[in-house]
Structure 1
């Protein structure tokens, strides 16, 4: 441990979620970006072997504040954590990472008489997201105070609990909850349904305003951006008659432009283009319809775009 601590002074500090799904996705991202490290058992700091970086494994909820305060240079956490920590104006968003996608929603019992979020004004809300819930219901409180001449004291009560909150309504602790929802299955199992969405969130890469090594931050950002692009795209290669090239390249325009190479048969060319992985089957169908041959799909492990 002493050796690791002595080697931190010249290293960029990178905050990584220490557990859960954000942790697993973050490790996969680091692996794809060729950020190689070995983490000793029970240690929350790991030295990267091929770059002057130290990974600091922290609770996802704490990373936003560590980055904003300059304790670490950059980090990965959910957008909701940054907003809840009230540091959004003190950090710089670099990349949306495409995982950890959730919605912060207001949920009430399915059998409740409460049908819309305005019905919760003046009632009890339980949440782990006290700041965001307070902001949201303060606006509703003011709106209804003005519209209905309600008394100043009739304010929605926000109570903080850590961890799981879906049992709060069943236990009589609250009339509704505010919590992150991914698929909604857990909430439905608890007899709850959403009546409003406060915001949508996903994992992001972000840095503090004055990182210790800006050029290294740029390099990491570029690598991770390449990994994300590689996850979204495949390389499509096909042969097409010269007379049909214009029509074909409308189907596969590529990110910048397709690569067109001559073949020994002068009437035909080879076309290579990056296409969205989700659309590749339909694109292949369209190419086949206009006479394309030898249509091949190649996986992209990494790239720069």
Structure 2
């Protein structure tokens, strides 16, 4: 777990509550909501995570059990219309969430409509106050790298949740040169304060990466580059004790994220153990953070 009393900028790793849905690990506790809640949180704590990211249907019981275990929290939500941003931010701030990631819009908005959404999120974040990180996600106003960079030029105060598998696969980042794309999205990487951990390849946005071996899974190298560069920028800009959040978010086959393949009996099984893969992703993120810190220290950046 991260040292929350450190004066140095830190990486805080949380587990996604959505990712725990339908995990085989908790199959034996299904049918007993109270036991399932406690089992999940106990395992999150034992695995060394700093907390949990909940969606907007969180309960007071969930938050109370997190507090009892010393687990931190974060939230995720959606803003479809400008008038929704304020009430959502107020509700999350009142519940004690220190920050939230947001899907904003559906991606079909005109430039003016998207601008009003961004302005509403920024106003809500300032008014309540709670940091609101707009996510790079399909079916949102930030589903496209060009549009995101363009809006960041207009609204440089926006901060980002980088869920880069949506872009890596959906925008085929290797087509036309990955390094070219990396340079182009530098304004995005400069503003990342939250990362959703999921690795895709050029054809599928959530894949098994085994133990993270880059020879067997060359696209892992690209995600390490994305995460490390974003972490470098965070470290150069962060105030003492600032936090960057990393949340493995390997989602269920029921919503068509996790892939399934037939076993020897023709029964569809998940491609991987999502709990174990989440730990692999967390380990990669921690390695990236250490490398980012080394680079910043070597370059006389802010961190020492």
> In which range does the TM-score fall when normalised by the shorter chain?
under 0.3
Question: Over alpha carbons, which structure has the higher Rg?
Answer: 1
More helix by share: 2
TM-score (norm 1): 0.26
